[in-house]
Amino acid sequence: MAAPCSLSLPVVALAALALLSPRSSAAGHIEVCTSRFWFNYRHVANTLSVYRSVKRLGIPDSHIVLMLADDMACNARNPKPATVFSHKNMELNVYGDDVEVDYRSYEVTVENFLRVLTGRVPPSTPRSKRLLSDDRSNILIYMTGHGGNGFLKFQDSEEITNIELADAFEQMWQKRRYNELLFIIDTCQGASMYERFYSPNIMALASSQVGEDSLSHQPDPAIGVHLMDRYTFYVLEFLEEINPASQTNMNDLFQVCPKSLCVSTPGHRTDLFQRDPKHVLITDFFGSVRKVEITAETISLQRDLPAVESRYSSQLLQAHDRQSSQFIISLQQQLHHSTGDNWLKLLHKAKSEGGDMEDRMEEEFTEPLQYAEQLPVAQIIHQKPKPKDWHPPGGFILGLWALIIMVFFKTYGIKHMKFIF
Amino acid sequence: MAAAGAAATDLEVVRGKRAALFFAAVAILLGLPLWWKTTETYRAPLPYSQISGLNALQLRLMVPVTVVFTRDSVPLDDQEKLPFTVVHEREIPLKYKMKIKCRFQKAYRRASDHEEDALSLSSVHEAEAMLAEPEKQAEGSLTVYVISEHSSLLPQDTMSYIGPERTAVVRGLMHREAFNIIGRRIIQVAQAMSLTEDVLAAALADHLPEDKWSSDKRRPLKSSLGYEITFSLLNPDPKSHDVHWDIEGAVQRYVKPFLNALSAAGNFSVDSQILYYAMLGVNPRFDPASSSYYLAMHSLPHVINPVESRLGSSAASLYPVLNFLLYVPELAHSPLYIQDKDGAPVAANAFHSPRWGGIMIYNVDPKIYNASNLPVRVEVNMVQVMEVFLAQLRLLFGIAQPQVPPKCLLSRPKSEGLMTWELDQLLWARSVENLATATTTLTSLAQLLGKISNIVIKDDVASEVYRAVAAVQKAAEELALGHLSSAFVASQEAVTSSERAFFDPSLLHLLYFPDDQKFAIYIPLFLPMAVPILLSLVKIFLETHKSWKKSEKKD
């Protein structure tokens, strides 16, 4: 009935959710699902359910980084395509119409996850894939997948250890990328992941202790897989009762899913947190309430000031005289708010004033806008392979060399090397 | 035969011993250091001592003030002492260890004839127009004119006047201690125009412990190289209101001059958009007394998040985005007012959120409904709207109302909405904030490198760190000399370089190997080699020991 998550299945589904919810500026969330393949449907459903609750409580997509390691909704095995259900009898479709997945499928790797956390993303990364938090943001990180004692599997090919996670949080703290951080993990032996944290202002929750397995909730006969994990199921029931103005505190969240319902023992860690958990509201992390001030004073402006636009027309004529094409193109970029017909009028005027300039102006006019920092095409198409990090030789190579050395010693006769053996 | 054989084996034994010792020597003296060197993470050298020195950097801010005395302002014998220079230094304590020294360097001199003529005109504004030479005054400096006690330039009981450019006027005194008294008045005026404790505390609010300063100080935007300003018109009810706003004209007329005045503080780009069917997330309540709808103050924070997802600010640039929303309420909820905590409607009908932007509610004039059918055409009065938005923009940047000394007249604001010395104040605050941020970043980087052992520092990252340290030191020097504009540029460069060094993608630490994995890797490689060497060394040592003992016994 309930499938333990630490079976030695080669599937690693990673689901991670990161949420930012600052007290007075934007909230941020990171939600990571680290599991791949169809039978880890429940990890994706976990992540999407938390994502949905958090959006319901008011966090916009721009503050959520959602990483899903596999696509369940459009999976060929899904009998109901474009849906991901979290309750049996298909009551609740958590995929919805407005899901925004930031990191999908093979982009969910340990390296990308750590880059998002520490902010060391390449300069070409779009805004939606960055964690734009500052020192006033409260961050919620939700991770689910298959894990073990001290590690969490990503995509069935790599793992993240608890020490790396602790170091990443320390780097976030050094750069003041968070004010307070809530870390929720739903995997087997999840409590081992928060053992090594050492940065201040972190609170952590896990679905099971070291040595225990987190179990899944209920299979669905129509879809054929387990739909959710127990711990996340009960956390979600708890969150459904929260609205943006509610006053429930963290101690209630710690009581969610006792051993009788969850079979595993959920754990939590609050020693690094500076405030008392009973004074910490759930909405501090799961919702976001901005600080707002009434605008009491206004300035007075003169009614009919001349527009500053005339500056641009005289500059254009000067450029015309100087015959510099560069200037005209940069003018094009600067004119955000010049109306279209104004610009054309000026252009026509300039055109009519110069005979042989006309051709040059036309070809300059059609030159495309320049975009900043564009990679040359050659580099996009044939990207140089990244220099691989040195890994120590694997077991096969070591065994081979051990065999060779033994044979060497046997062949040349140990007895001749009296003074060695 | 046996003796020859024995001699031969003896020779072999000695050779064997030497060979074993040589192996051991090569392995330990050459192999171990080579292995250590090739497996350590590459770290280009960094100026750690300079970085720790930055923490203890004493910031000295200098404001050069030129004080010009007219003929009847002070007694004659005092006038003869001119020109000379007085320095007034004050320490502003901000944190237990951190103090900032503010120094006002007053250069006293006599007025020239041109200035005397200007200051004997009848009104301050005419005098200023005659004296105005704004290009000559360096950023951060001030000029104070001292006029006679009974001059009619200022109204009767006003003791001082603060002008829109970097000038001020103070009344003189015919008294023995004239210089001291006037000096104090000048310092009061100069402080209001440049550096006060509030200005600096607001700039450093992020670096101070939270409980010390009120929420007022946490309003301003963080210093950044540029900002993106977005004006949005929200029309939830297009069936009833056909709203038009001349945003381009308003931006050209009102916003662009303001941003040009602020251009020293960063690059600005302005966008605008119109959103239809965008509702506020909160339902307004009906107030039967005034037969209007209102939004109570406690429901205002919940307005912003549902709207923000539709604003598309994530598609904008990487600079911080400031959103200004103009909301035209739907016909069913018109007119809509914002109530403050006492229940009174707010005059400007607008509110703002620090580091995010502002929202203003524009109520349509009910008279236009009578004449025509729905949808009615609404022309937004851009002046009224821009007055509120520019005021909010000033507050978001931290340009607050100045603390004027008593009996002081503040000039009316300039057409751009920003006085020159307010810009100077902003630049002072930003320079200090940039220096604090850069120092924190560099110190954090040094600490991280100490704590996490497998972070790689490449050469270009190291050069950025050197550049950042040099820029911080240069900025501190320029601040002490009073050159505000070059100090600000240096501080911006310091922040950019330090952020680039800290957030360089190559700094991501290598994957971590726990200790037991390291043993598992190295043992199969080194053990087959080390065991014979060690055993042979042990054997040699035991034999030598035995032969010593034997030779002792013999004796």
The predicted-structure confidence for B235-285, as pLDDT tens digits, reads as follows 998 988 889 999 999 999 889 988 988 888 888 989 999 999 988 878 888
Which pLDDT score, from 0 to 100, does residue A100 have? 87
Q: Which residues 214-233 in chain B show a CB within 8 A of chain A? A: 215, 218-219, 222
Q: What is the pLDDT of residue B2?
A: 64
The three-state (H, E, C) secondary structure of chain A, written as one string: CCCECCCCCCCCEEEEEEEECCCCCCCEEEEEEEECCHHHHHHHHHHHHHHHHHHHCCCCHHHEEEEECCCCCCCCCCCCCCCCECCHHHCCECCCCCCCCCEEHHHCCHHHHHHHHHCCCCCCCCHHHCCCCCCCCEEEEEEEECEECCEEEECCCEEEEHHHHHHHHHHHHHCCCCCEEEEEEECCCHHHHHCCCCCCCEEEEECCCCCCCCEECCECCCCCCECCEHHHHHHHHHHHCCCCCCCCEHHHHHCCCCHHHHCCCCEEECCCCCCCHHHCEHHHHHCCCCCCEECCCCCCCCCCCCCCCHHHHHHHHHHHHHCCHHHHHHHHHHCCCCCHHHHHHHHHHHHHHCCCHHHHHHHHHCCCCCCCCCCCHHHHHCCCCCCCCCCCCCHHHHHHHHHHHHHHHHHCCHHHCCCCC
pLDDT surpasses 60 at A388? yes
Asked whether the beta carbons of residue B535 and residue A420 sit closer than 8 angstroms, the reply is: yes
> In a mutagenesis test of the A interface, which of B214, B512, B538 is the best target, namely the one with the most A β-carbons within 10 Å?
B512
pLDDT tops 80 at residue A380: no
| A382/chain B closest Cα distance in angstroms | 21
Residue B376 Cα, gap to closest chain A Cα (Å): 25
pLDDT digits (tens, 9 = 90+) for A33-55: 888 888 889 899 999 999 988 88
Whether B444 and chain A come into contact, CB under 8 Å, resolves to yes
Q: Do A398 and B539 touch (CB under 8 A)?
A: no
> Is A188 among the residues known to form the active site?
yes
Instruction: Report pLDDT digits (tens) over A154-183.
Output: 988 888 989 889 989 988 988 888 889 999
State CA A30 to chain mean position distance: 5
Residue-wise pLDDT for B120-139, tens only, equals 777 777 777 777 665 567 77
Spatial distance between the Cα atoms of A234 and A215, rounded to a whole number of angstroms: 12
Q: Per-residue pLDDT averaged across A323-330, rounded?
A: 38
Residue indicated by tokens 């501190």: B476
How far A140 CA sits from the closest chain B CA (Å)? Answer: 17
B415 neighbourhood in chain A, CB within 8 Å: 301-302, 305
- The stretch A320-337 carries a mean pLDDT of 39
Residue B463 has pLDDT above 90, yes or no: yes
Of A134, A290, A417, the CB nearest to B304: A290
Name every chain A residue with its beta carbon within 8 A of the beta carbon of B296.
none
Q: Give the pLDDT of residue B270.
A: 92
For residue A268, pLDDT over 50 is answered with: yes
Q: Is A152 at the interface with chain B, CB within 8 A?
A: no
Render pLDDT for B98-124 as a digit per residue (tens, 0 to 9): 667 888 888 887 778 777 777 777 777
Residue B416 confidence (pLDDT) above 70:
yes
Q: Which residue would you say has higher pLDDT here, A375 or B294?
A: B294
In the three-class reduction of DSSP (H, G, I as helix; E, B as strand; rest coil), residue B90 is classed as: strand
What is the overall mean pLDDT for chain B? 82
> What is the per-residue pLDDT for A131?
87
Distance from CA of A222 to the nearest CA of B (A): 35
Among residues B139, B134, B133, the alpha carbon closest in space to that of B427 is found at B139
E-only strand ranges, B465-527: none
Q: How far is CA B6 from the centre of its chain?
A: 86
Percentage of chain A lying above the pLDDT 70 cut: 70
Mean pLDDT of A100-128: 89
List of chain B residues whose C-beta atoms are within 8 Å of the C-beta of residue A338 = 248
Mean pLDDT of B78-82: 73
A164, B505: Cβ pair inside 8 Å?
Answer: no
Mean pLDDT, residues A367-390 taken together: 58
**Catalytic: A146?**
yes
Average pLDDT score over residue span B373-396: 88
Phi, psi of B550 (to 5 degrees): -65, -45
CA nearest to B247 within chain A: A337
Chain B, nearest residue to A134 by Cα: B222
CB contact (8 A) between residue A299 and residue B387? yes
pLDDT score of A1: 38
* pLDDT higher than 70, residue B291: yes
CB distance B452–A167 less than 8 Å?
yes
- List, for residues B417-460, the tens digit of each pLDDT value: 788 888 888 888 888 888 888 988 898 889 888 887 778 888 99
In this prediction, residue A8 has a pLDDT band, given cuts at 50, 70 and 90, of very low
- To the nearest whole angstrom, how far is the Cα of A258 from the nearest Cα of chain B? 33
**B507: pLDDT confidence band, cut at 50, 70 and 90?**
confident
Catalytic residue selected from A146, A217, A226, A320? A146
pLDDT at B451: 81
Q: Judge whether A296 is closer than 8 Å to chain B, CB to CB.
A: yes
The pLDDT, as a whole number, for residue B318 is 74
Surface of A (237-266) touching B: CB under 8 A: 244-245
Which residue's entry shows tokens 């006679």? B148
Cut 0.90: pTM above it: no
Residue A22 reports pLDDT greater than 50: no
Q: How many cross-chain Cβ pairs, A to B, lie less than 8 Å apart? A: 195
pLDDT of B348 above 80: yes
Which of A233 and B368 is assigned the larger pLDDT? A233
Position A363 scores a pLDDT of 42
- Tokens 């307004």 map to which residue? B284
pLDDT at B13 over 50: yes
CB proximity under 8 Å: A 32-71 to B: 58-62
Query: In chain B, positions 305-364, which contact chain A (CB-CB < 8 Å)?
Result: 305-306, 308-309, 313-316, 318, 338, 340, 346-348, 350-356, 358, 360
Question: What's the gap in Å between the CA of B439 and the closest CA on chain A?
Answer: 11
d(CA B446, CA B502): 10
Would you state the pLDDT for residue A26?
53
Contact A291 B392 (CB under 8 A): no
Average pLDDT of the segment spanning B217-221: 65
Closest Cβ opposite residue A127 in set B254, B318, B441: B318
pLDDT at B171 over 90: no
Higher confidence at residue B134 or residue B9?
B9
Contact residues on chain A for B527, CB-CB shorter than 8 A: none
Give the model's confidence band at B474: pLDDT under 50 very low, under 70 low, under 90 confident, else very high: very high
pLDDT the model gives residue A10: 31
A100 touches chain B (CB under 8 A): no
- Chain A, residues 179-238, CB within 8 A of chain B, namely none
Supply the pLDDT for residue A334: 40
Please report which confidence band the pLDDT of residue A375 belongs to, taking 50, 70 and 90 as the band edges.
Answer: low
Q: What percent of chain B has pLDDT over 70?
A: 92
What pLDDT shows up at residue A192?
92
Q: B37 pLDDT band (50/70/90 cuts)? A: confident
| Closest B-chain CA to A61 | B309
Q: What is the pLDDT of residues A226-254, one digit of tens each?
A: 888 889 988 988 888 888 778 888 899 99
Q: Express each pLDDT in B516-547 by its tens digit.
A: 777 788 888 888 888 888 888 888 889 889 98
Buried b (16+ CB within 10 A) or exposed e, B224-250: beebbbbbbbbbbbeebbebebebbeb
Give me the pLDDT at residue A27, please: 64
